[in-house]
């Protein structure tokens, strides 16, 4: 059985860069993850609203009976209702989450971001989601307590973008630490997307981009819950000593790990194999 701190941590975002798998390859890959020894660590299939029809066709081709879906609306909430309707029209799709960015053109300052968050949460309130979670994506640079509180008041969750296809898509340690401290202080759950390909903070050999490690983020949330300030949390995020980071994860008490995962719900990864390989290499999980 998977260690509880890793249960459901890895959302399958293999359709998205840098993997960018074709649907015909992504769906069988998702089935493989959910049949593997690490299946309890695997989360829902992440799919953009523009590809739901392709997904249904691929499920038919692969004779898939049912599939847990995290529906992403990259262009924003304008297509929210028809996208949700499209999902509900295929009874094989079990909607587990919708992920919607705020209107970024209206989010240049903290005050404007709060207004954009309020507008999006009001729209989500009007859309029947049948119990699915709703993640409100707020740019890390515009995340502030008032925006987070609005999300919490509507019982939604926050989505943080921790990477992308350009270097400026990766927030530095201080920016991410500031966001994590706010979320920990407000006790608002969140997920991350993009950039968390590996367990430990590192520089990618092919791009030179500085990637955050998902184990670093888990420990950073634990530190934030314990009252650490932004500088202290940033230090946790910057730690590249793999054995020390793994040791700190292994040393987390069960109640601390549970608190961390109640906040850091999951992250989208375009290759579930990479984080699993890292966890095995670090001795944190095993096939047995």
Q: What is the CA radius of gyration of the chain?
A: 18
DSSP string, 126-165: TS--TT-EEEEE--GGG--HHHHHHHHHTT-EEEEE---S
- Measured CA to CA, the distance from residue 267 to residue 43 in angstroms comes to 9
| 53 within domain boundaries | yes
- Measured CA to CA, the distance from residue 22 to residue 127 in angstroms comes to 30
Look up residue 33 and give its two tokens. 């993850």
Give the pLDDT confidence score for residue 247 in this predicted structure.
97
Give the pLDDT confidence score for residue 105 in this predicted structure.
74
CA distances from 228 to 101, 184, 235 (A): 28, 10, 10
| 201 within domain boundaries | no
| pTM for this predicted structure | 0.96
Give the pLDDT confidence score for residue 109 in this predicted structure.
64
The CATH number given to whatever domain includes residue 157 is: 3.20.20.70
| 247 within domain boundaries | no
Give the pLDDT confidence score for residue 1 in this predicted structure.
34
Contacts of 220-224 with C-beta under 8 Å, sequence gap 24+, read: 220/176, 220/177, 220/180, 221/180, 221/183, 221/184, 221/260, 221/263, 221/264, 222/252, 222/256, 222/257, 222/259, 222/260, 224/180, 224/181, 224/183, 224/184, 224/185
DSSP-derived 3-state class of residue 268: strand
CA distances from 106 to 84, 102, 110 (A): 24, 8, 10
* Beta carbons within 8 Å of 15's beta carbon, 6+ residues apart: 21, 23, 26, 46, 47, 48, 51, 270
Contact predicate 203/173, CB 8 Å: no
| 284 within domain boundaries | no
| 285 within domain boundaries | no
| 231 within domain boundaries | no
- Measured CA to CA, the distance from residue 235 to residue 3 in angstroms comes to 25
pLDDT profile of the chain (288 residues), mean per 10: 84 96 98 97 98 98 97 96 97 98 76 91 96 97 95 98 93 97 98 94 91 98 98 98 98 96 97 96 91
- Measured CA to CA, the distance from residue 212 to residue 239 in angstroms comes to 10
| 106 within domain boundaries | yes
Task: Give me the domain span that covers residue 139.
Answer: 4-196+264-270
| 253 within domain boundaries | no
Number of domains in the chain: 1
């Amino acid at each position: 059985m998977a260690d509880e701190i890793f249960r459901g941590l890895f959302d399958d975002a293999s359709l998205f860069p840098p993997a960018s798998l074709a649907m015909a390859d992504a769906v069988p890959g998702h089935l493989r993850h959910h049949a593997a020894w690490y299946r309890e660590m695997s989360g829902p299939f992440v799919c953009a609203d523009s590809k739901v029809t392709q997904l249904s066709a691929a499920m038919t081709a692969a004779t898939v009976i049912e599939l847990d879906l995290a529906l992403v609306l990259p262009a924003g909430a304008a297509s929210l209702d028809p996208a949700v309707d499209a999902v509900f029209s295929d009874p094989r799709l079990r909607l587990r989450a919708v992920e919607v960015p705020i209107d970024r053109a209206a989010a240049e300052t903290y005050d404007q971001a709060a207004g954009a968050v309020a507008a999006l949460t009001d729209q989500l309130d009007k859309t029947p989601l049948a119990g699915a979670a709703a993640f409100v994506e707020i740019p890390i640079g515009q995340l502030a307590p008032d925006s987070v509180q609005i999300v919490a008041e509507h019982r939604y969750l926050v989505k943080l973008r921790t990477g992308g296809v350009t270097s400026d898509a990766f927030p530095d340690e201080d920016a991410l630490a500031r966001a994590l401290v706010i979320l920990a202080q407000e006790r608002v759950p969140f997920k991350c997307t993009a950039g968390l390909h590996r367990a430990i903070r590192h520089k990618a050999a092919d791009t030179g981009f500085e990637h955050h490690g998902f184990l670093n983020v888990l420990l950073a949330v634990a530190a934030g819950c314990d009252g650490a300030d932004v500088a202290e949390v940033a230090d946790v995020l910057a730690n590249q000593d793999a054995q020390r980071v793994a040791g700190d994860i292994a040393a987390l008490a069960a109640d601390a790990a549970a608190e961390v995962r109640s906040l850091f719900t999951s992250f989208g990864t375009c290759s579930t194999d990479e984080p699993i390989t890292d966890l095995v290499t670090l001795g944190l999980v095993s096939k047995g």
